[in-house]
Amino acid sequence: MFSANAALRNAQFFVTFFSLAKVNRQTSNKQSYEIIMKKFTLTIGLLAGLALQAAAADAKWLANLEKAQATAKAEKKMVLLDFTGSDW
């Protein structure tokens, strides 16, 4: 459910997150740049992780090799065999 208050809180979070807060006279431009780049890299990493998680949720695992091969051939994809267990 979308709410205007939630959108405002999210906007305030990002403004605060990307701002340099209190930059005093002792903070150099290099230090400010490093702070911004660390925050930017963290944000990009989190977004990439969320995108990968969403893509993995769509994955469909099949237990029958013949059906998996037919599906992979029809979709022009490769087959990944995952051997697990201790009785093989």
Give a yes or no: residue 37 inside a domain: yes
Of 32 and 40, the structure prediction assigns the larger pLDDT to 40
Predicted model pTM:
0.40
Return the structure tokens found at 88: 């093989």
* Average pLDDT in the chain: 76
Q: Give the range of the structural domain holding residue 55, as residue numbers without chain letter.
A: 4-59
Asked whether the predicted pLDDT for residue 65 surpasses 80, the reply is yes
Q: Are 36 and 20 in contact (CB under 8 A)?
A: yes
Give a yes or no: residue 76 inside a domain: no
Which single residue is written with the structure tokens 């051939």? 73
Euclidean distance between CA atoms 82 and 60, whole angstroms: 13
Give a yes or no: residue 23 inside a domain: yes
Average pLDDT over residues 48-77: 85
Asked whether the predicted pLDDT for residue 66 surpasses 80, the reply is yes
Give a yes or no: residue 16 inside a domain: yes
pLDDT digits (tens, 9 = 90+) for 38-60: 888 988 888 888 888 877 776 77
The confidence band for 27, taking pLDDT boundaries of 50, 70 and 90, is: low
